[in-house]
């Protein structure tokens, strides 16, 4: 018997209220996964914006600002 079959067999024996808890937990995990993907995209956008800003004429690096 495969692990998948064992899990399904175990789940079939659960009462309905525990099924709802499991489904809620799965939804929570999916939400967290989606949030992580959104954050990765936002980080990539922030990095791209910073690279564009560095390439602009007249940009003063923070190190130079701190020295003044």
Mean pLDDT of 46-53: 90
CA 28 to chain centre: 12
How much is the pLDDT for 1?
78
Structure tokens at 64: 């130079």
Q: Which percentage of the chain shows pLDDT scores above 70?
A: 99
Q: Which percentage of the chain shows pLDDT scores above 90?
A: 41
Provide the mean pLDDT of the chain: 88
Spell out the domain ranges in the chain: 15-56
Task: State phi, psi for 15 to the nearest 5 degrees.
Answer: -70, 160
CA distance 41 to 35: 10
pLDDT tens digits for 4-35?
A: 888 888 888 888 889 899 899 999 999 999 99
- The residue with greater pLDDT, 10 or 42, is 42
């Amino acid at each position: 018997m495969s692990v998948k079959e064992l899990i399904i067999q175990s789940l079939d024996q659960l009462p309905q209220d525990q099924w709802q808890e499991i489904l809620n937990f799965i939804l929570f995990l999916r939400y967290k996964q989606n949030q992580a993907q959104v954050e990765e995209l936002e980080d990539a956008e922030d990095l791209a914006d910073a690279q564009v800003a560095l390439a602009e004429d007249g940009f003063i690096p923070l190190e130079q600002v701190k020295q003044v």
